[in-house]
Amino acid sequence: MHFVFGGAFNGKRKWVKKQYENQITEWHSAYEDFIKMPTLVKGDQYIVIEGMELYIKELIGSGKTVEEVCCYFKEQLQAWRAENLLENVIVIGTEIGKGIVPMSQNDRSWRDACGYVYQMLVAEAETVDRIWYGISNRIKEE
């Protein structure tokens, strides 16, 4: 798995498209056409899941606790690993944890869940890149 994260409108999508030019089979974007987390199908090319923070926000908004959201994504990662799908997945997430602490409990739970899920993604990923204003910074490579 390749996890790509950075600030909003910092060029993550453009960077991924350039890095994986002509290798991406499916692109699931929560920004363009929100759907539930996609079901992955084994393939030779890459599948992109963009807008991870919106998938997390949807779960928090539906009444799930931070712990339940983390369990959900832990199970997703285990299922992808069991099916040997992780190597073909690129996950893009926007950093939402910097700055002022949100006033509403729901927004704080969303921010916390994003932090925990992103930690899981980073631990599971073979490659992690932070994109800041279009410039990549490789944080992890196995």
Reported as a single tens digit per residue, the pLDDT across 69-120 is 999 999 999 988 888 888 889 999 999 988 788 899 999 999 999 999 999 9
Q: Are 53 and 31 in contact (CB under 8 A)?
A: no
Q: Report the alpha-carbon distance of residue 65 to residue 116 in Å, rounded.
A: 12
For residue 97, the SS3 value is: coil
Q: Hey, how many other C-beta atoms are within 10 angstroms of the C-beta on 88? A: 21
Pairing of strands 46-50, 24-29: parallel
**Helix, strand, coil percent values for the chain (each to nearest 5):** 40, 25, 35
Confidence of residue 35 (pLDDT cuts 50, 70, 90): low
> Taking residues 10-18, what's their average pLDDT?
96
